[in-house]
Structure 1
Amino acid sequence: MTDFPACTCCAYDLRDDELGRLLCSRCEDRVGQQLAAIQGPRGLYAQLAHHLQRGSGSGGPAVSGSKNAPAPLRVDILSLQCAGGPILGPLETWVRDWETHRHAELNEGGTLQQRVDHACRTLRFNLSWAAGNHPAADAFADEVALIHRTLQGITAGEKPARKLYAQCPCGGTFPFTLATHGETCRHCGTEYGHGEIMRMQLAERRAAA
């Protein structure tokens, strides 16, 4: 049986005009759209500011009619906004990587929003090159999709994913959600992919606590 070249991201066979590429045109377009949705003054990253205060899930700034102290800020949102957090950190890591291939330029100046915008712009500008040449193009596409899904879930007011606990063969347990791409057992250091975790036995809540 003949194996046809496939997209490293979605695993669909490449069309004749896509042969030699790592990502198919559909996956390239999707990543480009996700990066575009993240950046900008009305983008998903900028919208995090409207969800900083607890109870502000309506999409606009939280307004209190009382004279009480304002509600505490959401730590999970603050962690997403920081320089080394799971949004800007990975984006700039990919920019640094592509810079070694002479297909991106890192800019760590300006505000966090400006840095996010720059990272998204330069990654979009060189996306066609990555789709055709970067050996980790599929990992890049997966990470952008995870960032986009995380931001979209928060700005749409979705409830956080339910946290479950997996039972590692070593006897330890580790937390995960159904949307996880992979986790590492803190007891033995073994790394598990999404499929492996989904097949693992769930730990009893008391044992995992």
Structure 2
Amino acid sequence: MTSSCGACERDLEHGYLCPGDTLALAERLERLPKLFIELGLYLAPGSRPAGERVSSGPAGSRLPLNDTVLDLRHGGIALVLESWRSDIHSVRGWSEPAITGGLDYRVMHVCRWIGMQLEWIAASYPGAGDLAREVRDLEGNALSIVGAKPDRGRLLGQCVAVDASGVVCGAPIRYRNGDKVLVCSWCSYTYEERDFMTLYQLQPREAEQKEAS
């Protein structure tokens, strides 16, 4: 019995999220904590990105707080991701997780936690497509404030390291010219230069089609 990807509707043999959308979701979860911290720089009234021209006219009242930034920092990103984490716990029959720490820590923690569940999410979670789309929208809203995402190098694929319980890491691994060693930002597994081509060849071809997403 075939199914379709909840994010792009591509046919799947099984599961709820195709490899390409799973990888794209992993990358967005990796970027969101950094974007969240950057958003905090835009909270001060009248704040402007460095280098933006300021009028030489008479000083007036300061600009109001950016409502979009407030929504993303105080209710958007953290609460949305934590609600997804709560639903995943519910579906899997796990107890409700405790929420602790400041907002920056909460976003980092929940992004990492969801990232570690991606193999199960793609294969077994009916809400996988909605999760992928909502995370994509959160990143898009954040980028509309802080600017376009930087060049992060060439995507080789997902980390294939396996932990003690048999779970594959799945974090995105990228190569930049001159790199001799690549270290996974999630599990710290190290890939030597001789491993690069093998790692790339092991990846599903759908990942290449998602590189521009």
Give the TM-score band, short-chain normalised.
Answer: 0.5 to 0.7
| 1:147 maps onto 2:143 in alignment | no
CA distance in 2, matches of 1:98, 1:72: 38
Please, which of 11, 21, 27 is the counterpart of residue 27 of structure 1? Answer: 21
User: For this pair of structures, how many residues does the alignment match?
Assistant: 146
2:10 corresponding residue in structure 1:
12
Please, which of 36, 52, 59 is the counterpart of residue 45 of structure 1? Answer: 36
1:89 corresponding residue in structure 2:
79
Q: What is the TM-score of this pair, normalised by structure 1?
A: 0.60
1:114 corresponding residue in structure 2:
105
Contact 1:52/1:77 (<8 A) preserved: yes
Contact 2:6/2:130 (<8 A) preserved: no
CA distance in 2, matches of 1:59, 1:92: 32
After the TM superposition, which segments of 4 or more aligned residues of structure 1 sit over 3 Å from their partners? 53-57, 63-72, 102-105
Identity, in percent, stands at 29
Q: What is the TM-score of this pair, normalised by structure 2?
A: 0.59
Please, which of 75, 91, 97 is the counterpart of residue 67 of structure 2? Answer: 75
Q: Secondary structure at the match of 1:118?
A: helix
After TM superposition, give the deviation of residue 104 of structure 1 in Å: 8.9
CA distance in 2, matches of 1:45, 1:9: 24
Q: Secondary structure at the match of 1:86?
A: helix
Q: Deviations over 1:169-203 (max 9, x none)?
A: xxxxxxxxxxxxxxxxxxxxxxxxxxxxxxxxxxx
The residue type paired with residue 31 of structure 1 is L
Higher relative contact order (CA 8 A, sep 6+): 2
Q: Deviations over 1:66-119 (max 9, x none)?
A: 99875443233222211xx12111100011111121579734111011111111
